[in-house]
Structures are given as C-alpha cells and as structure tokens.
Amino acid sequence: MQDLRSTLLAQWPIRFGRRRIAARPAHRPFRRFGLAFLTLAMGVTIIGATMNTIFMWRLNEFWSLDQLIASQAKGAPILYNGLTIEKENNSSFKRHVLAMAAPEVIAIGSSRSFPVRDYMFRTKFYNFGGRFGRSTNFPLADLDIKKQEILAQPSIRVVLLFLDYFWFMTDVPIGQAATPVTTVRHAPKNRGIALAGDGLLAHWLRAVALPRALIRDGVLTWTQYFDVIRGRYPTRRGPIEAVGYSAVLNGSGIAQDGSYYYLWLKAIDDKAETTCSYLGDFPAKQRLPHGAYRPDQKLDPAKVAAFKAFVDSLATASVHVVPILPPLPPSMIDRMTGDPSYAFVDQWRTAMHATFPSVFDFHDIRSLGATECEFMDDVHGQDVAYMRMFRAMAEREPDLARLFDQPLMDQLIGTFAGRRLVTSHGLGQAVR
C-alpha cells in the first residue's frame, strides 16, 4: 500500500488549498548529479584544452606551412621540427624549400645523411635527406618518388646518395623491423589524432590532443609541460627561431639548408671525454625494432638492381649520382668484423663496389683520422667525420673537388677534431 501511495504521489499533482504542487520526480536527484558531473567534465576539458593550446603555442606548433616557407624565402634562420604543422613528417616543407633553394648539389639518404651542411660547399647545396626508405623492408616505390622529386628541380646536377646496408636486405615479417633508424634523442612521432585537411580547426585539434599522448607515452614529463607553459623554454636561440616541439625542447631539427642539427651535442662535446664507446649492450641492439643490427640478414639482389636502375635513370637525365657508404663507429665495426652473423655487411660492400665502381666506401673511416667521439651514437657520424669524408672525396676525384670548400673544412677539422658539433658555422653558432 505504501508503494502504491509513493507511485501516485510521484505521478499526480497534489492539491493543498488553492495551490497545486507537483510531486518531485524520484529521478530528479540523479539528473542533477548528471548535470553537475557533465558540467565538471566540460570544465576540466576546457581547462585542459586551454593549457594544451598554450603549451603548443609556446612551442610554435601553430605556425603554418605557409609561414614556414615565407620565413625561408626571407632567409631567416630557423630550427624546425614540428609534430603537428604537417601531416607528412616535415617532408612537404623540404620539397618547397628545395624548389626555392635551386641547388646544384643535394644529399639524399636516411638520417645518416643529416650532417651534410651547406658551409662545406662552394656551390649551392641543399640537404634533401630523411624520410627516405626504412631500416629494413625498403619500399622500392620510394626510389621512383625520389627520382621524380629530383628531376622536377632542373638546377640539380649532383646527388650525394648515402646508402645504408640494411636497405638492401631481404624483407622480414611486417611489424618486426619497419621503423626508421632513430636515436633516443630524436623527435617523438606524431601521436596526435589523425585528421584530414589542413584547415585551422584540424591543425588545432591535432595540436591540442598531442600533449596528453606525449605524457602518456613517457616522452614528455609534467615538469617540462608546466615549464613550457610558464615560458621557461625560449623559442629564440640568438638569431635562430626554434619552431616545433623537439626544436624548442631538445634543440634538434631541420636548418635552412635542410641538414639536421642536434644542438644538445655541444654539452656532450664539452665533457671533454678522452674515450668514447657506443657498443654498450650489443644483444639489446640486436633486438631493436629497426633491425639495423639483426644478425644473419641476407642480401636481396632485387634491391641492388633497383638502386642501380635508379642511379642509371638519373644519369640518363644528366644528373651525376655519387654513391657513398656512410661510416659506423669503430666499436661497432670491431664487434661485427669476424662474426659470421654479420658477414652480410661485407657481402653488401662487395656488391656495392661491383654495382657502382665509383662508390666511396667510408664504412670504416679510421684511416681518415676519425674517432668514436666524432659519432653521435652507434650508427650516426657527425660534422667532423663527414668533412673528413668529403676531403678524401675531393682528393680522389678532381671533378668533385670544385664542389667542396676544402680550406674551410681543413680548418674546421683541425679545430673540432674529436668533437661532434661544429659551433663556428651553421646553426651550431647558436650554442657556441
């Protein structure tokens, strides 16, 4: 009986004298709670989005591609490494700047082509390296794309082609080794939401979603997050404007000549280490997802043939391709030498000499005076090591000698021997 009375009171109004008072619905407290929770959630979302917007704005992540290109048209020095400005991992920016630069010489390759700088040359140069191939499972379609990009720029007459041994191996199961060779200090991948379109709203949504993903993945700390919001990470480094997450936070990114800088190497150089070694935990390196140190790999003749066809097709178009085998640090070479599991490296070198008789083999450059301390890590040589290579190329090939500023390179090698970053020229001047 009591339940029936409660039901009736909830459904029909009750008269008290002349006043007609509706009974309070039983579900109204839950509605109020829901509205309060929704209001709180919206408030937290708005506050979070506002803070993330400030965070990304402080990092110059709201620059547009057009703004970047305009700054390069004016010759403004920048260090660029955006995560949300482009959806193509900064490759469209380099294509636009390549067209503006109209260089005679370009460098292409993986991140192992990054340290080639314009101050090393007497002629116009642009570093068109990066975003080319992968450590394994090299997509041969990249060769045709790169050829079309080169032929679209009629000023290009010489291509410095940096060849990685792991490009030429047979494919491995998908998911085991299909990532670019990177270092622990490289820029994080774009973990934001993927949106079609380049409008302001799409750009903002990509940017505002990114900090949470970076914190979740352990790439960004809360201390860094709030320090950026407070303005403790300046975007100006002398005359250089840092644009993008890693450019501001890590001092790494693309310069106006297309080369890639790691300005934090200055602090490592200043430690004045007398010995360097990148061998470390070699079994752990063998398990790295990029697969560069995976043992018992096999040379793929089809990939060798594809690269030969690529070089020959450019030669037909009067573009001189200079094949270069970039160096590994001495500790890694010593570890691999004599190990049957890495016989494929020497087999690859032999194949490159047979395929490209004019190849420059700098796999081991100790004979040029290079040391372990002129490498950034276990696979990437840096400024001084590469100038040693170019000096040797100029001595061997008079036709190439005219390209390089040999007196300057001799001076810089003497000044910065045993170091990674040249701080008297290029963007290295920002941290000298």
412-430 pLDDT tens trace: 999 999 999 999 999 999 8
Q: What is the mean pLDDT of residues 228-245?
A: 92
- Average pLDDT over the chain, rounded to an integer: 86
pLDDT value for 277: 87
- Of 414 and 19, more confident: 414
pLDDT value for 28: 67
Q: Has residue 207 got a pLDDT over 70?
A: yes
Between the alpha carbon of residue 2 and those of residues 8, 15, 21, 75, 371, the distances in Å are 10, 19, 20, 85, 92
pLDDT value for 127: 97
Alpha helices, DSSP H only, in 102-254?
141-151, 200-216, 222-229, 245-249
Q: What is the mean pLDDT of residues 292-319?
A: 96
Q: What is the pLDDT of residues 147-193, one digit of tens each?
A: 999 999 999 999 999 999 999 999 876 555 444 554 444 445 444 44
Q: Has residue 74 got a pLDDT over 60?
A: yes
Distance CA 404, CA 155 (A): 17
pLDDT value for 3: 58
pLDDT value for 191: 41
Given phi > 0 = left and psi -120 to 50 = alpha, else beta, which region is 294? beta
Q: Has residue 385 got a pLDDT over 90?
A: yes
Q: What is the pLDDT of residues 316-328, one digit of tens each?
A: 999 999 999 999 9
In the structure, what pLDDT confidence band is assigned to residue 14 with cuts at 50, 70 and 90? very low
Distance CA 353, CA 90 (A): 33
pLDDT value for 89: 56
Which 3 state secondary structure label does DSSP give 19? strand
- Of 67 and 135, more confident: 67
Q: Has residue 4 got a pLDDT over 80?
A: no
* 321 beta partners: 159
pLDDT value for 419: 95
Q: How many CB atoms lie within 10 A of CB 121?
A: 22
Q: Has residue 9 got a pLDDT over 50?
A: no
Between the alpha carbon of residue 120 and those of residues 7, 14, 99, 215, 257, the distances in Å are 88, 92, 21, 39, 11
Q: Has residue 5 got a pLDDT over 60?
A: no
Torsion of CA 132, 138, 139, 145, to 10 degrees: 30
pLDDT value for 291: 77
Q: Tell which residue, 269, 267, 273, 262, has the closest CA to residue 426.
A: 262
In the structure, what pLDDT confidence band is assigned to residue 288 with cuts at 50, 70 and 90? confident
164-178, 227-241, 280-294, 382-396: least confident range = 164-178
Q: Has residue 104 got a pLDDT over 80?
A: yes
Q: How many CB atoms lie within 10 A of CB 407?
A: 9
pLDDT value for 273: 63
Say if pTM beats, i.e. exceeds, 0.75. yes
- Of 117 and 44, more confident: 117
Q: What is the mean pLDDT of residues 102-110?
A: 97
Cβ-contact 187, 81 below 8 angstroms: yes
Q: What is the mean pLDDT of residues 390-410?
A: 96
- Of 122 and 276, more confident: 122
pLDDT value for 37: 72
